[in-house]
Structures are given as structure tokens and as C-alpha cells.
Amino acid sequence: MQIFGVDIGGSGIKGAPVDLDKGDLAQERCKVLTPHPATPEGVADGVRQVVEHFGWTGPVGLTFPGVVTGGAMVRTAANVDKSWIGTDARTLFSERLGGLPVTVVNDADAAGVAEMRFGAGRGRRGTVILLTFGTGIGSAVFVDGVLVPNTELGHLELGGHEAEKRASSKAKDDGELTWEHWARRVQKYLAHVEMLFSPELFIVGGGVSRKAQKFLPFIEGVEAPIVPAQLQNNAGIVGAAMRAAEQEGLQGHPGELT
């Protein structure tokens, strides 16, 4: 079965039909630049271009980099235009897509459900935490394969600072930090999250997961194993499509272990 997935990021809006049996893109993805400022109207236009590129007419799942409840309502917008807060994103996107059924999900939660089903978390029980390091820090917490949505662990306070301001990959770039220096910050952050949740496994996602060997060797003193995400760039697209399939009653709960 195929469902369309769209990942809305700070630099690009990327989407493709997803093969839900394989957990992979069914066609090469299409990307348009995210408008700046990334207002609801501007982003919705970008989403329409991506979906129309494929002539898609079925259900669509989308990620959003903030808290999203009920597959629709945007509650926070830490790194995107504040006018998103209080937007019914399902209605906005569905109207712009000519009435297609739409589900919206937090970006890290989407990446997490895809990793749990098809990637680094496959078959893992207990508490598993995926953290994405990008412009912000996103989190997806699973207990026996079931997602606890919208956990927002990137906004934990650490040493008087919001964690994502210190340990995101944007913080590394902005501060021109070496991998080792940045890894020490990530280590403190992981140790703090471990103190709170005692997970069995950490999965590190986001763009930096491709460069895991550059910083994971510097991380010590965290008991849980730390592994890089496997789906990398496509995790958000795949996870969004999985959530949309679930919403439409086309597939079981994406967090369920099979």
C-alpha cells in the first residue's frame, strides 16, 4: 500500500509516495524550498506543489516541527513562524490539497515511528528514545513500541540553558564548535535524559546521524547504547505516511511491535 508523506523542514519541504510494506519511498522524492518567513500560507503552497508534482489524490501525512495534537492542531512553533500557533493545520493543508484527507504529526514523532518499525528501533521493547539533532532537538519516546507523543525533550533546561540552544546541530554550527566540544554538550544532555527516563536505547537522528562516527566515540558515561538512526533523510516522510495510514484506518498502530 502507498500513502503520501511530506516532511516540512527549516530549509525544504520534501515528499513522496511511501511504500508502507517496505518502509521506503516508492518514487524519488520532490523537494521545494521552505519559504521565509515560513508562514502557514507559504508552507501550504509549497506542500501543494510537492503533492501535485506526483498527481497524488489519496491520503497525505505531514510532519511539523512543533507540538501537534489530534493530527491537526499546532500548539507550539519554536523554530518556525509564530503565526502557526493555534492553526488547524489539517484543515489548512486539506483545503489547499483540494480536500484530500490529511494527518499532521510532530517531526520527531514521525521519524521515531519509522525508526521503530523499519530502522534502528525495530523490535525493541522497553523505553526507547529517539532524539533528532538539527535546527532544534526533537524527541520521540516509545514504551514497548508505543509512542508517547509530543514529548519535547529538546526544551529541557540544562545548566541554565534550554538544551536545544546548546546541543542542537545548529548550536554546533553557530558556535563553530569542534565535534569533540559539541559531543561533550550532547553527552551532558543524554546523561540528563537518561537520569529522567532510564531508556534501554537512544537513537540519534537528524542530519548528524550520517556523521555519527565523528561524535559518538567522544560520548562516555551514558549507560544506554546510543545508535544512529537508519532511515536518515527519509524517516520523517515514511513516519508521516504511517501516521496517515493509521488515521485512515488503513494500517494498525504504527507504534505496535510486529
The mark string for 39-78 relative to ligand BGC (x by CB under 6 A, - otherwise) is --------------------------xxx--------x-x
User: C-beta of 206: minimal distance to ligand BGC in Å?
Assistant: 8
Is 107 an interacting residue with respect to ligand BGC (CB under 6 A)?
A: yes
Q: Which is nearer to ligand BGC, 26 or 116 (CB)?
A: 116
Residue nearest to ligand BGC (CB): 136
Q: Which whole-number Å values give the CA distances from 188 to 152, 155, 161, 178, 221, in the listed order?
A: 17, 14, 12, 16, 9
Q: Which is nearer to ligand BGC, 56 or 202 (CB)?
A: 202
Query: Which helix (H) or strand (E) segment is 238 a member of?
Result: helix 235-247
Is 94 an interacting residue with respect to ligand BGC (CB under 6 A)?
A: no
Choices 29-37, 129-137, 182-190, 250-258; region in contact with ligand BGC by CB under 6 A: 129-137
User: C-beta of 221: minimal distance to ligand BGC in Å?
Assistant: 25
Is 246 an interacting residue with respect to ligand BGC (CB under 6 A)?
A: no
Interface with ligand BGC (CB under 6 A), residue total 16
Which residues are CB-neighbours of 194 under 8 A, at least 6 positions away?
202, 222, 223, 224
Which residues from 24-43 bind ligand BGC, rule CB under 6 A?
none
Query: Which helix (H) or strand (E) segment is 239 a member of?
Result: helix 235-247
- 72: number of Cβ within 10 Å: 19
Give the helix ranges, DSSP H, for 127-210. 163-167, 169-174, 179-197
CA–centroid distance for 245 within its chain: 17
Exposure of 130 in the CB half-sphere (CA atoms within 13 A)? 38
Check the CA dihedral 209-214-217-218 and report its sign.
Answer: negative
Q: Which is nearer to ligand BGC, 107 or 246 (CB)?
A: 107
Binding site for ligand BGC (CB under 6 A): 65-67, 76, 78-79, 106-108, 132, 134, 136, 138, 152, 154, 164
